[in-house]
Structure 1
Amino acid sequence: MNYSFFYSKETGGFYDHSEKEVYEASINGWPADAVGITDDEYNSLFDGQAAGYVIVAGDDGKPYLTAPPEPTLEETRRAMAAKKAQLLDEAYTAMKPLELAVKHDMATDEEKAQLDAWERYSVLLSRVDVDNPEWPDKPE
């Protein structure tokens, strides 16, 4: 069978057979472990990757799709800390004009209530444990 594409387990890369001479003339050359894949396999792999799957190599060197690995505890912790920081930034941004209105005795009763709600929300956010987050409801 004539293959248009090849995959290298060693490099984790795909290679277009029509460019084989270019690869062979390059410093790295054409991968010794390159295995042929059909156009349909090639397209299916990239469609799967676009849908969130990961391309890995089997024992035979052929690429296949698998679910992405679960995030590590540290990755989850960083993601939750980033979410917490983003939500706090949103809260502080919402509070600033309301604080100024109160400071200059220009706030309506509704604005005072909004400021109180955002302040309470920001306190609750600051107390969120990123290892076991329970996110408070954002004020309306």
Structure 2
Amino acid sequence: MSYFFSPDKNAFYDSELKSAYDATNSWPEDAIEVSDDIFQTYIAAPPEGKVRGSIEGEPGWVDVPPLTSEENVTAAANKKSILISDASAIIAPLQDAVDLDMATDSEKESLAVWKKYRVLLNRVDTSSAPEIDWPTLPS
């Protein structure tokens, strides 16, 4: 079995499937044959901060490109949503204890701290990502 790499598509192709690609006219014109060692190296997990790319037409590890402004905002909005959900899951049983007049002084204090944290999270403006001053997670 042999493998091919397309620098344009940044993808590997198996020679045994070439006829299927040919039938759909989808075999990349720039595909070059690569060794099994190269194939195994570049289908594995990349080193931290790297992704597979093309270096002078060959597969290679390249720096992860920086996120776009839109991607930063989306990532921050997702993080905010997760943090709010996590805080709410902690607040709910504490609030139940207070509502049922079963809360200890420690639980009441903890409830206030977590509610304040959730309010501060709700006020985070994700449009300024990645420059966000996230509130400190309660301990």
User: TM-score w.r.t. structure 1 length?
Assistant: 0.79
Counterpart among 52, 66, 70 of residue 66 in structure 2: 70
Unpaired stretches in structure 2, ≥5 consecutive residues:
none
Q: Percent identity?
A: 38
Question: What's the CA shift for 1:116?
Answer: 0.9
Secondary structure at the aligned position of 1:119 is classed as: helix
Question: What's the CA shift for 1:30?
Answer: 4.0
1:84 aligns with 2:83: no
**Alpha carbons of 1:105 and 1:72: their partners in 2 closer, same or farther (altered >3 Å)?**
same
Question: What's the CA shift for 1:21?
Answer: 4.3
Deviation larger for 114-123 or 10-19: 10-19
Moved over 6 A (4+): none
For the 8 Å contact 1:8–1:35, the answer to whether it is kept is: yes
**Alpha carbons of 1:23 and 1:91: their partners in 2 closer, same or farther (altered >3 Å)?**
closer
Unpaired stretches in structure 1, ≥5 consecutive residues:
none
**How do 1:41-120 and structure 2 match up within 5 A?**
41-47=38-44, 49=46, 53-58=50-55, 61-120=57-116
Question: What's the CA shift for 1:56?
Answer: 2.7
Which residue is equivalent to 1:34?
31
Paired residues, number: 136
Deviation larger for 119-128 or 109-118: 119-128
Deviations 1:8-36 (A, max 9, x none): 23444322234444544x22264332211
Of structures 1 and 2, the larger Rg is shown by 1
Which residue is equivalent to 2:137?
138
Deviations 1:90-125 (A, max 9, x none): 111211122222122221111111111111111222
* Aligned equivalents of 1:75, 1:29: Cα separation in 2: 30
User: TM-score w.r.t. structure 2 length?
Assistant: 0.79
